[in-house]
Structure 1
Amino acid sequence: MENFNQYQYDDLLNREADVYANTKYQVILGFLAGRTGLKILNAGCGSGELSFLLAAAGHMIVGIDPAEEYIALAQKQLPESLRTRCSFSVNSIENFSMTEKFDCVIATDVLEHIADDLTAAKKLADMVVEGGDVIVTVPALPALFGYHDELLGHFRRYTKTTLGALMRGVGGITFKKLRYFGFTLIPICYLFSKVWRKPYPVASSGKGLGSFIRQLILGSMLTFDRFITMPLGTSLIFWGKRRASKDDCAA
Protein backbone atom coordinates (compact mmCIF):
# COMPACT_ATOMS: atom_id res chain seq x y z
CA MET A 1 0.00 0.00 0.00
CA GLU A 2 1.40 3.36 -0.97
CA ASN A 3 2.60 5.42 2.01
CA PHE A 4 1.69 2.58 4.39
CA ASN A 5 2.93 3.32 7.90
CA GLN A 6 2.83 1.90 11.41
CA TYR A 7 0.13 4.35 12.51
CA GLN A 8 -2.20 3.00 9.82
CA TYR A 9 -1.52 -0.58 10.87
CA ASP A 10 -1.99 0.20 14.57
CA ASP A 11 -5.27 1.91 13.73
CA LEU A 12 -6.48 -1.35 12.15
CA LEU A 13 -5.15 -3.52 14.98
CA ASN A 14 -7.28 -1.54 17.45
CA ARG A 15 -10.39 -1.62 15.26
CA GLU A 16 -11.92 -4.67 16.94
CA ALA A 17 -11.99 -2.77 20.26
CA ASP A 18 -12.78 0.59 18.66
CA VAL A 19 -16.12 1.66 20.13
CA TYR A 20 -16.37 4.51 17.61
CA ALA A 21 -16.00 2.26 14.56
CA ASN A 22 -18.20 -0.49 15.97
CA THR A 23 -21.01 1.88 16.91
CA LYS A 24 -20.89 3.27 13.38
CA TYR A 25 -21.05 -0.30 12.06
CA GLN A 26 -24.23 -0.84 14.08
CA VAL A 27 -25.82 2.11 12.26
CA ILE A 28 -24.89 0.46 8.95
CA LEU A 29 -26.30 -2.90 10.06
CA GLY A 30 -29.52 -1.08 10.90
CA PHE A 31 -29.89 -0.03 7.25
CA LEU A 32 -29.93 -3.72 6.28
CA ALA A 33 -32.08 -4.95 9.18
CA GLY A 34 -34.68 -7.57 8.31
CA ARG A 35 -32.78 -8.79 5.26
CA THR A 36 -30.46 -11.75 4.90
CA GLY A 37 -28.46 -13.48 2.18
CA LEU A 38 -27.35 -10.25 0.49
CA LYS A 39 -24.24 -10.36 -1.67
CA ILE A 40 -22.18 -7.46 -0.34
CA LEU A 41 -18.96 -5.84 -1.56
CA ASN A 42 -17.00 -4.30 1.31
CA ALA A 43 -14.64 -2.00 -0.58
CA GLY A 44 -11.68 -0.96 1.54
CA CYS A 45 -12.48 -3.71 4.04
CA GLY A 46 -9.36 -3.15 6.15
CA SER A 47 -8.89 -5.84 8.78
CA GLY A 48 -12.39 -7.21 8.26
CA GLU A 49 -14.39 -6.34 11.38
CA LEU A 50 -17.41 -4.98 9.49
CA SER A 51 -17.26 -7.92 7.07
CA PHE A 52 -17.41 -10.34 10.00
CA LEU A 53 -20.47 -8.57 11.44
CA LEU A 54 -22.24 -8.62 8.07
CA ALA A 55 -21.43 -12.29 7.54
CA ALA A 56 -22.68 -13.14 11.03
CA ALA A 57 -25.95 -11.41 10.07
CA GLY A 58 -26.35 -13.92 7.22
CA HIS A 59 -24.86 -12.07 4.25
CA MET A 60 -22.20 -13.16 1.72
CA ILE A 61 -19.19 -10.83 1.75
CA VAL A 62 -16.51 -10.02 -0.81
CA GLY A 63 -13.89 -7.84 0.86
CA ILE A 64 -11.20 -5.96 -1.05
CA ASP A 65 -8.41 -3.66 0.08
CA PRO A 66 -5.28 -2.39 -1.72
CA ALA A 67 -3.11 -3.09 1.34
CA GLU A 68 -1.69 -6.61 1.50
CA GLU A 69 -1.10 -6.15 5.24
CA TYR A 70 -4.78 -5.44 5.87
CA ILE A 71 -5.99 -8.41 3.82
CA ALA A 72 -3.54 -10.71 5.59
CA LEU A 73 -4.90 -9.47 8.92
CA ALA A 74 -8.52 -9.96 7.79
CA GLN A 75 -7.81 -13.52 6.67
CA LYS A 76 -5.98 -14.27 9.91
CA GLN A 77 -8.80 -12.90 12.09
CA LEU A 78 -11.66 -14.45 10.08
CA PRO A 79 -13.59 -16.79 12.41
CA GLU A 80 -13.78 -20.38 11.20
CA SER A 81 -17.58 -20.25 11.37
CA LEU A 82 -17.68 -17.42 8.79
CA ARG A 83 -15.18 -18.76 6.24
CA THR A 84 -17.88 -19.88 3.81
CA ARG A 85 -19.43 -16.39 3.90
CA CYS A 86 -16.35 -14.18 3.51
CA SER A 87 -13.67 -13.92 0.85
CA PHE A 88 -10.87 -11.34 0.92
CA SER A 89 -8.45 -10.24 -1.80
CA VAL A 90 -5.91 -7.50 -2.45
CA ASN A 91 -7.54 -5.08 -4.87
CA SER A 92 -8.61 -1.45 -5.23
CA ILE A 93 -11.91 0.10 -6.21
CA GLU A 94 -10.28 1.45 -9.35
CA ASN A 95 -9.01 -1.96 -10.52
CA PHE A 96 -11.71 -4.28 -9.17
CA SER A 97 -14.11 -5.89 -11.64
CA MET A 98 -16.76 -8.61 -11.51
CA THR A 99 -19.32 -9.65 -14.09
CA GLU A 100 -21.95 -10.11 -11.36
CA LYS A 101 -23.34 -7.11 -9.53
CA PHE A 102 -23.84 -6.85 -5.77
CA ASP A 103 -26.98 -6.33 -3.71
CA CYS A 104 -25.07 -3.83 -1.59
CA VAL A 105 -21.76 -1.99 -1.78
CA ILE A 106 -20.20 -0.54 1.36
CA ALA A 107 -17.16 1.74 1.59
CA THR A 108 -16.35 2.87 5.13
CA ASP A 109 -13.72 5.59 5.40
CA VAL A 110 -12.38 4.97 1.90
CA LEU A 111 -13.21 7.88 -0.43
CA GLU A 112 -11.08 10.32 1.56
CA HIS A 113 -8.03 8.24 0.56
CA ILE A 114 -8.73 8.61 -3.18
CA ALA A 115 -7.77 11.73 -5.14
CA ASP A 116 -10.61 11.31 -7.67
CA ASP A 117 -13.40 10.43 -5.27
CA LEU A 118 -16.17 11.02 -7.84
CA THR A 119 -14.83 8.39 -10.24
CA ALA A 120 -14.45 5.95 -7.34
CA ALA A 121 -18.00 6.63 -6.12
CA LYS A 122 -19.37 6.09 -9.63
CA LYS A 123 -17.50 2.78 -9.85
CA LEU A 124 -19.04 1.67 -6.56
CA ALA A 125 -22.56 2.57 -7.71
CA ASP A 126 -22.08 0.78 -11.03
CA MET A 127 -21.42 -2.48 -9.16
CA VAL A 128 -24.85 -2.43 -7.45
CA VAL A 129 -28.02 -4.02 -8.81
CA GLU A 130 -31.11 -1.90 -9.41
CA GLY A 131 -32.75 -1.35 -6.03
CA GLY A 132 -29.53 -2.26 -4.23
CA ASP A 133 -27.85 -0.33 -1.45
CA VAL A 134 -24.90 2.06 -1.57
CA ILE A 135 -23.45 2.85 1.86
CA VAL A 136 -20.53 5.22 2.38
CA THR A 137 -18.89 6.73 5.44
CA VAL A 138 -16.24 9.46 5.42
CA PRO A 139 -14.53 11.70 7.99
CA ALA A 140 -16.38 14.98 8.46
CA LEU A 141 -15.58 18.65 9.03
CA PRO A 142 -12.55 20.07 7.16
CA ALA A 143 -11.79 22.16 10.26
CA LEU A 144 -10.76 18.92 12.01
CA PHE A 145 -8.20 17.95 9.34
CA GLY A 146 -4.93 17.37 11.17
CA TYR A 147 -2.40 14.86 12.49
CA HIS A 148 -4.69 11.82 12.24
CA ASP A 149 -5.68 12.61 8.64
CA GLU A 150 -2.10 13.25 7.56
CA LEU A 151 -0.83 9.94 8.93
CA LEU A 152 -3.72 7.99 7.40
CA GLY A 153 -3.18 9.57 3.98
CA HIS A 154 -6.46 11.48 3.74
CA PHE A 155 -6.96 13.95 0.90
CA ARG A 156 -9.91 15.65 2.57
CA ARG A 157 -12.69 15.65 5.14
CA TYR A 158 -16.27 16.27 4.01
CA THR A 159 -19.30 18.31 4.98
CA LYS A 160 -22.88 17.18 4.52
CA THR A 161 -23.05 19.53 1.53
CA THR A 162 -19.91 18.23 -0.19
CA LEU A 163 -20.71 14.56 0.35
CA GLY A 164 -24.28 15.13 -0.83
CA ALA A 165 -22.98 16.87 -3.96
CA LEU A 166 -20.55 14.01 -4.59
CA MET A 167 -23.26 11.35 -4.41
CA ARG A 168 -25.62 13.41 -6.57
CA GLY A 169 -22.80 13.64 -9.08
CA VAL A 170 -22.74 9.86 -9.26
CA GLY A 171 -26.29 9.85 -10.66
CA GLY A 172 -28.94 7.16 -10.38
CA ILE A 173 -29.03 7.05 -6.58
CA THR A 174 -32.05 7.85 -4.42
CA PHE A 175 -30.98 9.25 -1.07
CA LYS A 176 -32.27 7.35 1.97
CA LYS A 177 -30.07 8.84 4.68
CA LEU A 178 -27.28 11.40 4.94
CA ARG A 179 -26.33 12.14 8.53
CA TYR A 180 -23.51 13.21 10.78
CA PHE A 181 -22.15 10.86 13.43
CA GLY A 182 -19.87 11.53 16.39
CA PHE A 183 -21.10 14.93 17.55
CA THR A 184 -19.94 14.33 21.11
CA LEU A 185 -16.38 13.60 19.95
CA ILE A 186 -15.74 16.85 18.07
CA PRO A 187 -13.83 18.50 20.98
CA ILE A 188 -11.72 15.36 21.51
CA CYS A 189 -10.82 15.08 17.82
CA TYR A 190 -9.98 18.76 17.61
CA LEU A 191 -7.67 18.65 20.62
CA PHE A 192 -5.83 15.47 19.65
CA SER A 193 -5.48 16.02 15.91
CA LYS A 194 -5.29 19.82 15.61
CA VAL A 195 -3.93 21.15 18.90
CA TRP A 196 -1.82 18.39 20.48
CA ARG A 197 -1.10 16.54 17.19
CA LYS A 198 -1.29 13.16 18.89
CA PRO A 199 -2.99 9.87 17.94
CA TYR A 200 -6.66 9.57 18.77
CA PRO A 201 -7.24 7.73 22.08
CA VAL A 202 -8.40 4.58 20.24
CA ALA A 203 -5.30 4.31 18.05
CA SER A 204 -3.05 4.51 21.09
CA SER A 205 -5.35 2.75 23.54
CA GLY A 206 -3.53 -0.53 24.17
CA LYS A 207 -4.94 -2.70 26.95
CA GLY A 208 -5.60 -2.52 30.66
CA LEU A 209 -7.89 -0.62 33.00
CA GLY A 210 -7.16 2.79 31.46
CA SER A 211 -8.16 1.51 28.03
CA PHE A 212 -11.31 -0.10 29.44
CA ILE A 213 -12.38 3.15 31.10
CA ARG A 214 -11.74 5.13 27.90
CA GLN A 215 -13.82 2.65 25.89
CA LEU A 216 -16.61 2.76 28.49
CA ILE A 217 -16.76 6.55 28.35
CA LEU A 218 -16.67 6.58 24.55
CA GLY A 219 -19.41 3.96 24.42
CA SER A 220 -21.67 6.04 26.64
CA MET A 221 -21.09 9.13 24.51
CA LEU A 222 -21.66 7.30 21.22
CA THR A 223 -24.91 5.65 22.30
CA PHE A 224 -26.38 9.14 22.01
CA ASP A 225 -24.95 9.59 18.49
CA ARG A 226 -26.21 6.23 17.29
CA PHE A 227 -29.87 7.06 17.78
CA ILE A 228 -29.99 10.87 17.50
CA THR A 229 -28.83 12.78 14.42
CA MET A 230 -27.06 16.03 15.23
CA PRO A 231 -26.23 18.94 12.88
CA LEU A 232 -22.47 18.22 13.06
CA GLY A 233 -20.19 15.26 13.72
CA THR A 234 -16.75 13.75 13.17
CA SER A 235 -18.08 11.37 10.49
CA LEU A 236 -20.74 11.34 7.80
CA ILE A 237 -22.85 8.32 6.91
CA PHE A 238 -24.60 8.02 3.53
CA TRP A 239 -27.17 5.42 2.52
CA GLY A 240 -28.77 5.36 -0.90
CA LYS A 241 -30.65 3.08 -3.29
CA ARG A 242 -29.55 2.39 -6.86
CA ARG A 243 -32.03 3.38 -9.56
CA ALA A 244 -32.19 2.18 -13.15
CA SER A 245 -31.93 5.70 -14.58
CA LYS A 246 -29.11 8.21 -14.29
CA ASP A 247 -31.45 11.04 -13.35
CA ASP A 248 -30.51 13.51 -10.64
CA CYS A 249 -30.84 12.14 -7.13
CA ALA A 250 -33.67 13.05 -4.83
CA ALA A 251 -32.48 14.05 -1.37
Structure 2
Amino acid sequence: MNPEEYRKLRELEQEHWFYAGKREIVRHWINHFAPLTPEATLVDCGAGTGSFAVEMHGRCRVLAVDDHQQSLEILRRVLPPEHVREGSALALPVPDASVDCLTALDVLEHVEQDEAAIREFARVQKPGGIGVITVPALPALWSDWDVALHHFRRYRKQHLIRVLAQPGFRLEHCHYLNVAALPAIYLARKIRAWT
Protein backbone atom coordinates (compact mmCIF):
# COMPACT_ATOMS: atom_id res chain seq x y z
CA MET A 1 0.00 0.00 0.00
CA ASN A 2 1.19 3.49 -0.67
CA PRO A 3 1.49 6.02 2.20
CA GLU A 4 -1.76 7.76 1.25
CA GLU A 5 -3.65 4.45 1.49
CA TYR A 6 -2.19 3.83 4.95
CA ARG A 7 -3.33 7.31 6.02
CA LYS A 8 -6.84 6.60 4.71
CA LEU A 9 -6.88 3.23 6.46
CA ARG A 10 -5.89 4.84 9.76
CA GLU A 11 -8.76 7.33 9.42
CA LEU A 12 -11.21 4.57 8.48
CA GLU A 13 -10.15 2.43 11.44
CA GLN A 14 -10.73 5.38 13.78
CA GLU A 15 -14.20 6.24 12.50
CA HIS A 16 -15.92 3.19 11.00
CA TRP A 17 -18.33 1.28 13.24
CA PHE A 18 -16.94 -2.10 12.15
CA TYR A 19 -13.39 -1.38 13.34
CA ALA A 20 -14.46 0.45 16.51
CA GLY A 21 -16.84 -2.40 17.34
CA LYS A 22 -14.18 -5.04 16.77
CA ARG A 23 -11.75 -3.24 19.08
CA GLU A 24 -14.45 -3.02 21.75
CA ILE A 25 -15.15 -6.75 21.45
CA VAL A 26 -11.43 -7.55 21.73
CA ARG A 27 -11.11 -5.37 24.84
CA HIS A 28 -14.15 -7.17 26.30
CA TRP A 29 -12.56 -10.58 25.68
CA ILE A 30 -9.32 -9.48 27.30
CA ASN A 31 -11.12 -8.04 30.33
CA HIS A 32 -13.30 -11.15 30.64
CA PHE A 33 -10.60 -13.82 30.33
CA ALA A 34 -7.55 -12.10 31.84
CA PRO A 35 -7.83 -8.45 32.89
CA LEU A 36 -4.51 -6.73 32.31
CA THR A 37 -2.66 -4.77 34.97
CA PRO A 38 -0.44 -1.78 34.16
CA GLU A 39 2.57 -4.12 34.55
CA ALA A 40 1.22 -6.67 32.04
CA THR A 41 2.79 -6.90 28.59
CA LEU A 42 0.55 -6.89 25.52
CA VAL A 43 2.06 -7.57 22.10
CA ASP A 44 -0.08 -6.39 19.19
CA CYS A 45 1.25 -8.51 16.33
CA GLY A 46 0.62 -6.97 12.92
CA ALA A 47 -0.30 -3.68 14.60
CA GLY A 48 -0.85 -1.95 11.25
CA THR A 49 -1.89 1.64 11.82
CA GLY A 50 -1.89 1.21 15.59
CA SER A 51 -5.55 1.75 16.42
CA PHE A 52 -5.75 -1.08 18.96
CA ALA A 53 -2.24 -0.57 20.38
CA VAL A 54 -2.96 3.12 20.99
CA GLU A 55 -6.20 2.27 22.81
CA MET A 56 -4.38 -0.19 25.07
CA HIS A 57 -1.34 2.05 25.69
CA GLY A 58 -1.57 3.32 29.25
CA ARG A 59 -3.65 0.33 30.41
CA CYS A 60 -0.67 -2.02 30.17
CA ARG A 61 2.79 -2.18 28.59
CA VAL A 62 2.10 -2.30 24.86
CA LEU A 63 4.51 -3.43 22.19
CA ALA A 64 3.27 -2.84 18.64
CA VAL A 65 4.96 -5.18 16.14
CA ASP A 66 4.75 -5.01 12.36
CA ASP A 67 6.92 -5.89 9.38
CA HIS A 68 5.82 -3.18 6.95
CA GLN A 69 7.83 0.04 6.91
CA GLN A 70 4.77 2.22 6.31
CA SER A 71 3.07 0.72 9.35
CA LEU A 72 6.19 1.20 11.46
CA GLU A 73 6.37 4.87 10.45
CA ILE A 74 2.75 5.41 11.51
CA LEU A 75 3.21 3.43 14.71
CA ARG A 76 6.24 5.54 15.69
CA ARG A 77 4.11 8.68 15.27
CA VAL A 78 1.18 7.45 17.39
CA LEU A 79 3.11 5.55 20.11
CA PRO A 80 6.36 6.19 21.95
CA PRO A 81 9.10 4.72 19.68
CA GLU A 82 10.25 2.31 22.39
CA HIS A 83 6.81 0.66 22.15
CA VAL A 84 7.26 -0.16 18.44
CA ARG A 85 9.38 -2.97 17.01
CA GLU A 86 9.91 -4.46 13.61
CA GLY A 87 8.97 -8.12 13.51
CA SER A 88 6.47 -10.56 12.09
CA ALA A 89 4.07 -13.26 13.17
CA LEU A 90 6.82 -15.76 12.35
CA ALA A 91 9.56 -13.93 14.28
CA LEU A 92 8.33 -11.82 17.18
CA PRO A 93 11.07 -9.64 18.71
CA VAL A 94 10.40 -10.72 22.31
CA PRO A 95 11.85 -13.40 24.60
CA ASP A 96 10.22 -16.75 25.27
CA ALA A 97 7.35 -16.77 27.79
CA SER A 98 7.36 -12.97 28.20
CA VAL A 99 3.89 -11.91 26.98
CA ASP A 100 0.74 -11.72 29.09
CA CYS A 101 -1.55 -11.00 26.14
CA LEU A 102 -0.95 -11.33 22.42
CA THR A 103 -3.33 -9.88 19.87
CA ALA A 104 -3.28 -10.73 16.17
CA LEU A 105 -6.22 -8.86 14.70
CA ASP A 106 -6.72 -9.85 11.07
CA VAL A 107 -3.13 -11.05 10.75
CA LEU A 108 -3.10 -14.85 10.25
CA GLU A 109 -4.73 -14.65 6.83
CA HIS A 110 -1.67 -12.70 5.62
CA VAL A 111 0.75 -15.43 6.75
CA GLU A 112 1.24 -18.33 4.38
CA GLN A 113 2.44 -20.59 7.22
CA ASP A 114 -0.30 -19.89 9.76
CA GLU A 115 0.57 -22.91 11.91
CA ALA A 116 4.16 -21.65 12.23
CA ALA A 117 2.79 -18.27 13.34
CA ILE A 118 0.67 -19.95 16.02
CA ARG A 119 3.76 -21.82 17.27
CA GLU A 120 5.56 -18.47 17.48
CA PHE A 121 2.64 -17.02 19.46
CA ALA A 122 2.89 -19.99 21.84
CA ARG A 123 6.65 -19.42 22.23
CA VAL A 124 6.25 -15.87 23.54
CA GLN A 125 3.13 -16.48 25.66
CA LYS A 126 3.57 -16.66 29.43
CA PRO A 127 1.94 -19.62 31.17
CA GLY A 128 -1.63 -18.48 31.82
CA GLY A 129 -1.34 -15.71 29.24
CA ILE A 130 -4.04 -15.10 26.66
CA GLY A 131 -4.22 -14.53 22.94
CA VAL A 132 -6.96 -12.84 20.99
CA ILE A 133 -7.01 -13.62 17.29
CA THR A 134 -9.43 -12.37 14.67
CA VAL A 135 -9.50 -13.61 11.08
CA PRO A 136 -11.80 -13.17 8.08
CA ALA A 137 -14.42 -15.87 8.04
CA LEU A 138 -15.79 -18.30 5.51
CA PRO A 139 -14.00 -19.20 2.28
CA ALA A 140 -17.31 -18.73 0.45
CA LEU A 141 -16.93 -14.98 1.05
CA TRP A 142 -13.58 -14.86 -0.80
CA SER A 143 -13.50 -11.84 -3.10
CA ASP A 144 -11.25 -9.44 -4.98
CA TRP A 145 -10.90 -7.58 -1.68
CA ASP A 146 -9.08 -10.61 -0.21
CA VAL A 147 -6.78 -10.66 -3.23
CA ALA A 148 -6.11 -6.91 -2.93
CA LEU A 149 -5.26 -7.36 0.76
CA HIS A 150 -2.88 -10.26 -0.02
CA HIS A 151 -4.83 -12.83 1.99
CA PHE A 152 -3.85 -16.47 1.69
CA ARG A 153 -7.15 -17.75 3.08
CA ARG A 154 -10.38 -17.17 4.93
CA TYR A 155 -11.20 -19.43 7.86
CA ARG A 156 -14.01 -21.69 8.91
CA LYS A 157 -14.30 -21.96 12.67
CA GLN A 158 -13.20 -25.62 12.60
CA HIS A 159 -10.06 -24.75 10.62
CA LEU A 160 -9.02 -22.05 13.09
CA ILE A 161 -9.69 -24.34 16.06
CA ARG A 162 -7.52 -27.04 14.45
CA VAL A 163 -4.66 -24.56 13.80
CA LEU A 164 -4.82 -23.26 17.37
CA ALA A 165 -4.76 -26.77 18.83
CA GLN A 166 -1.36 -27.56 17.28
CA PRO A 167 0.82 -25.99 20.00
CA GLY A 168 -1.62 -26.98 22.72
CA PHE A 169 -3.46 -23.72 23.29
CA ARG A 170 -6.54 -24.05 25.47
CA LEU A 171 -9.35 -22.48 23.49
CA GLU A 172 -11.69 -20.44 25.69
CA HIS A 173 -13.98 -18.95 23.06
CA CYS A 174 -14.39 -19.02 19.28
CA HIS A 175 -17.24 -17.48 17.35
CA TYR A 176 -18.14 -15.52 14.24
CA LEU A 177 -18.54 -11.73 14.44
CA ASN A 178 -21.32 -9.87 12.63
CA VAL A 179 -23.25 -13.07 11.91
CA ALA A 180 -26.43 -11.17 11.10
CA ALA A 181 -24.68 -9.46 8.18
CA LEU A 182 -23.35 -12.68 6.61
CA PRO A 183 -26.27 -13.40 4.24
CA ALA A 184 -26.16 -9.87 2.85
CA ILE A 185 -22.38 -9.96 2.47
CA TYR A 186 -22.52 -13.34 0.74
CA LEU A 187 -25.23 -12.18 -1.67
CA ALA A 188 -23.40 -8.94 -2.47
CA ARG A 189 -20.18 -10.81 -3.22
CA LYS A 190 -21.96 -13.30 -5.48
CA ILE A 191 -23.72 -10.53 -7.40
CA ARG A 192 -20.42 -8.68 -7.81
CA ALA A 193 -18.79 -11.88 -9.09
CA TRP A 194 -21.54 -12.36 -11.70
CA THR A 195 -21.24 -8.84 -13.10
Report the TM-score, using the length of structure 1 for normalisation: 0.68
1:93 to 86, 89, 94: 89
The CA distance in 1 between the partners of 2:189 and 2:67, in whole Å, is 26
Query: Structure 1 residue 40: deviation in Å?
Result: 0.7
Aligned partners of 1:108 and 1:138 also within 8 Å: yes
The CA distance in 2 between the partners of 1:99 and 1:165, in whole Å, is 26
Query: Structure 1 residue 66: deviation in Å?
Result: 0.9
1:5–1:145 CA distance, 2 compared to 1 (3 A): farther
**CA-atom RMSD, angstroms?**
2.3
Listed as ranges, the matches of 1:84-233 within 5 Å are: 87-99=83-95, 101-171=98-168, 173-190=169-186, 193-196=189-192
Aligned partners of 1:122 and 1:170 also within 8 Å: yes
Query: Structure 1 residue 77: deviation in Å?
Result: 3.1
**Larger deviation, residues 4-13 vs 26-35:** 4-13
Is the aligned partner of 1:63 residue 2:61? no
Is the aligned partner of 1:75 residue 2:86? no
Alignment correspondent of 1:223: none
The CA distance in 2 between the partners of 1:7 and 1:180, in whole Å, is 31
1:189–1:74 CA distance, 2 compared to 1 (3 A): farther
The CA distance in 1 between the partners of 2:183 and 2:75, in whole Å, is 32
Aligned partners of 1:46 and 1:74 also within 8 Å: yes
The CA distance in 1 between the partners of 2:128 and 2:107, in whole Å, is 23
Alignment correspondent of 1:230: none
Question: Which protein, 1 or 2, shows the higher relative CO under an 8 Å CA cutoff with sep ≥ 6?
Answer: 1
The CA distance in 2 between the partners of 1:182 and 1:126, in whole Å, is 31
Query: Structure 1 residue 182: deviation in Å?
Result: 1.2
The one-character-per-residue Cα deviations of 1:140-165 (angstroms, maximum 9, x if unpaired) are: 01000102111000000001111011
The CA distance in 2 between the partners of 1:109 and 1:147, in whole Å, is 17
Aligned partners of 1:7 and 1:151 also within 8 Å: no
DSSP-derived class of the 1:177 partner? coil
- Tell me which stretches of 4 or more aligned residues in structure 1 moved more than 6 Å: none
The one-character-per-residue Cα deviations of 1:9-66 (angstroms, maximum 9, x if unpaired) are: 343441111211221111111122243222011100001110011124x111111111
Unaligned runs of 5+ in 1: 198-251
DSSP-derived class of the 2:173 partner? strand
Is the aligned partner of 1:46 residue 2:48? yes
DSSP-derived class of the 2:176 partner? strand
Report the TM-score, using the length of structure 2 for normalisation: 0.86
